[in-house]
Structure 1
Amino acid sequence: MDTTALRSAYEKFLEVAAAPDLGDAADGGWNADQVLAHVLSVDAATAAVALGVVSGSRPTFDNRICLDGWNLDRIIAEHTGRAELIAHVRSQAAVLCDIADQLSEKAASVLVPSFLMSNDQVVLDQPVSLADLVNGLAESHVPGHTQQLSDLRPIRGN
């Protein structure tokens, strides 16, 4: 697989995440650390699925644990601050991209039973190819969370 777009999406995401002025969400949504913990969790789960496919097992992808507040708080608590959390996201993203780079066309085409939720709504409940799962991170997931982080920046007057 070609992970050029995914790597680029992560770079933009991590650049925004490193901004010093990220506040709380006006709508009561996730703060920057929760967004980072969520992305870290999704990346690890996706890497695990990819390795499962390569190993010959029949993995599934279910993002509900990646949305769970207790799990996000646990991930955040394992880090000494945002800089360490960002470093871990950067490292985990590199691991995921390195795994995806090595997937054969046959492995990338394996259908993975997938269950995805967003904002308490089921957005996917069907098998998707491993390639589509990984490419979905580059096309919508990471850019969506980049925008979410950007929205946490205060609006500056002219």
Structure 2
Amino acid sequence: MDTTSLRQGYAELIAEARRGGFGQPPAGEWSAEQIIAHVAANDELLAETTEHVLSGNRRAYYNHDAVDTAKLTEIVAAHGNLEALTDWLEKTSSRLVELAGRLDEKMPTMVHTTIRDGDLTRVDQPWPWPRAIKVQAGHHLPAHLAQLRALRV
């Protein structure tokens, strides 16, 4: 699978996080630290599912743990600061990009995919797994990049 857009999306998000200078989020929205924790935690879930796909297993993908604000707050506390979270994101994104590069788009494996966004369920059906990776590159990363930029003071 071509991972060019995925690599670019991560490079932009990581560079934005490294710039820092973020203010407090509006009530009910995530902080810069929570945004980066969310993306990195989601990367781990995506990478785990991708590993299963590559090994011939079908494992469902469910992003619940990566969107739970209380869990994100715990992750932030465990890492300590935005710099450490961004270091973690570099590792998780590198792993996911490497695994995604091994996917064969011509032989897409169907994976039951559940994507929650706040209280909304955006997806709850079998998806060709490369499509989930394309959504990460084309929608998910740009959306969180915009969130970070909106937090800049």
TM-score (norm 1): 0.91
Matched, 1:143 2:142: yes
In 1: Cα distance, 2:36 partner to 2:86 partner: 7
Count how many residue pairs are aligned between Structure 1 and Structure 2.
Answer: 153
Matches within 5 A, 1:13-32: 13-32=13-32
Q: Which runs of 4+ in 1 moved over 6 A?
A: none
Give the percent of matched residue pairs that are identical in Structure 1 and Structure 2: 31
Give the root-mean-square deviation of aligned CA atoms: 1.3
Q: Give distance in 1, aligned partners of 2:146 and 2:66.
A: 18
Corresponding residue for residue 110 of structure 1:
109
Q: What does residue 126 of structure 2 align with? A: 127
SS class of match (2:26):
coil
Q: Secondary structure at the match of 1:151?
A: helix
1: CA distance, partners of 2:106 / 2:9: 25
- Unaligned 5+ residue runs, structure 1? none
Q: How does 1:22-101 map to 2 (within 5 A)?
A: 22-101=22-101
Which is greater in Rg? 1
Partner deviation per Cα, 1:9-61 (whole Å, 9 max, x = no partner): 01111111122310111243000110011001110000000001112222111
Q: Distance in 1 between matches of 2:123 and 2:29?
A: 22
Q: Which moved more, 1:2-11 or 1:114-123?
A: 114-123
TM-score (norm 2): 0.94
